[in-house]
Structure 1
Amino acid sequence: MSDIQELARRYLASWNERAPARRRALIEELWTDDARYVDPVVAAEGRDAIDAAVATAQQQFPGLVYRAAGHVDGHHHAARLAWELGPVDGPPVIIGLAVLVAEQSRLCRVYGFLD
């Protein structure tokens, strides 16, 4: 995978983008046609469902932002991203881990875990 740091940055940016049209554009650029996102709360297949899942999370956690919690680690076509959700200048209220799986620098699968 080329530049896992950039892939993780783009992934988090899509979760933080509040403007629906811009968020959708980020998702279109980032995810493959057959993309799938799953975590303990949601299973989303396809870009429409992923966009809806992100929008729902933003509604549930207004004013909070996603950020990397440490170095992104990866090999082959997979990366491990520790993340946190919290106020811009405050401690996290939720922490988790995302396993990003890519095909040609686009996400095809993401498996999320909440701590």
Structure 2
Amino acid sequence: MTDIDPQDLADRYIAQWTEPDAARRRAAIEALWARDGRHILQPPAEIREIAATLGFDHSTLEAQGYDAIEVRVTRSYEEWVAKGGFTFRPRAGAVRLDGVVKFGWEMVSVETEEPAGGGLEVLVLDDDGRIKADYMFPGA
């Protein structure tokens, strides 16, 4: 795993979220993720508050495995890129410490290139350099 460049991984990770072709998107997921990889999202505060009123005792959303991650990535693509007029881009400065990669990202308007949001990503890699856990913190 010593040959993994953290910025290259961040670039490839973000590219899956903006890929318009479903087959290429799925291929990117299978290349990046471990088969049982987990995407763990800290949802926005308003969603956490609603979940608490419904009796949910934790405030994370999780997708596990290629199929569930593909649904998550596709829904994000459809909502924010295809319909919303946004794209995602990694920020510079991705860093790696052993099997963990950390980087920031931005959601930007395609029309104006102005940032409309962003967050922090923490990826835990397996021995093959694939994502086994992805902790996403929107708004960070």
TM-score, length of structure 2 as denominator length: 0.76
Aligned to 2:136: 112
Aligned to 1:74: 96
Aligned to 1:30: 32
Q: Shift of the alpha carbon at 1:53?
A: 0.4
Q: Shift of the alpha carbon at 1:70?
A: 2.5
**Bigger Cα displacement from structure 2, 57-66 vs 12-21:** 57-66
Deviations 1:61-101 (A, max 9, x none): 13311111231011100011100011245111111000011
Query: Structure 1 stretches (4+) deviating beyond 2 angstroms?
Result: none
The answer on whether the counterparts of 1:81 and 1:97 sit within 8 Å (CA) in structure 2 is yes
Aligned to 1:58: 77
Q: Shift of the alpha carbon at 1:102?
A: 0.9
Q: Shift of the alpha carbon at 1:55?
A: 0.8
SS in 2 for 1:14: helix
SS in 2 for 1:61: helix
Structure 1: gaps spanning 5 or more residues: none
Distance 1:70 1:5 in 2: 7
Distance 1:114 1:83 in 2: 9
SS in 2 for 1:79: strand
CA RMSD of aligned residues (A): 1.3
Distance 2:124 2:40 in 1: 12
SS in 1 for 2:37: strand
> Larger % of strand: which?
1
Deviations 1:33-58 (A, max 9, x none): 11000112331010111110011111
